[in-house]
Amino acid sequence: QVEVLDGGRAEPWDVAPGGLPPASVGERRDVAARRLVRRSAPGPGPAESTGESGLSLIVAAPRDGLAVYAPVADTAGPWIASGTPHLYAGVIEATGVVGPLVLPGGTGCAGCLELHRADRDPQWPRMLAQWRSGRRGAVPACDLGLATAVAGLAAAHALAFLDGDLPASTGTRWEAALPLLDWRSEQIGPHADCSCGAAGGAGGAGAFGGVPAQDTMAG
């Protein structure tokens, strides 16, 4: 089962191969995306849940690429508190980002990422504040081929996780830049000063245990 949270209406620049079709222009983005999911998986829907089971995975793919390149820790606060795994994916200018897949209490989170960067570069917090407060255009530049590659890799990692595996983005950030699309990785370890508590956990990602295999196309 896929729940889509998005705002606004589909615009012509949202149309993409494997994504929203031209007929979706003008529709609410969340409605159009749900229809696309149903078209991609036309089989019977999942059985109705009788309990209050939480989400198995959140894929955070904001339209603003800066929110993926330098995610705001407070945004993920409720996900950390509820123990909900979440995967970041997006494009900022000519760079695509997939990861990290955060396993609360087991791997580094958005807060850990920001603290590690500040350790390496004391000017990072000031520069980040300037980026976040700066005026950005309503339609960020985004290369369609790069966005498609990022979406495909993110979907593959999400499905692998839902099938009970730990994909390569677990606690790791993957980046690729145009024009070569040479993927490179950066491990995001827990930071001792982060309130997420992962630094005090035992066993890292392996201790999380993943999730029980879900009913996906792979199983």
For residues 126-142, average pLDDT: 79
Task: Establish if 151 belongs to a structural domain.
Answer: yes
Q: Is residue 81 part of a domain?
A: yes
Residue 196 domain flag: yes
Residue 68 lies in a domain: yes
Give domain status of residue 21, yes or no: no
Residue 67 lies in a domain: yes
What confidence score (pLDDT) does residue 43 get? 72
How many domains, the chain? 1
**Which CATH number belongs to the domain containing residue 103 in this structure?**
3.40.50.720
Give the 3-state secondary structure of residue 25: coil
pLDDT of the residue at 203: 47
Residue in the structure block whose two tokens are 């997420």: 196
Report if residue 56 sits inside a domain: no
What is the pairing mode between strands 86-92 and 95-102? antiparallel
The phi and psi torsions of 33 (rounded to 5 degrees) equal -70, -40
Q: pLDDT tens digits, residue range 84-133? A: 999 999 999 899 999 999 999 999 999 999 999 999 999 999 999 998 88
Range of the domain at 66: 62-202
pLDDT tens digits, one per residue of 151-170 = 999 999 999 999 999 999 99
Structure confidence by residue, pLDDT tens digits, 193-206: 999 999 986 545 55
Q: Is 26 left (phi over 0), alpha (psi -120 to 50) or beta?
A: left
Q: Is the pLDDT of residue 50 over 80?
A: no
Instruction: Tell me, yes or no, whether 55 lies in a domain.
Output: no
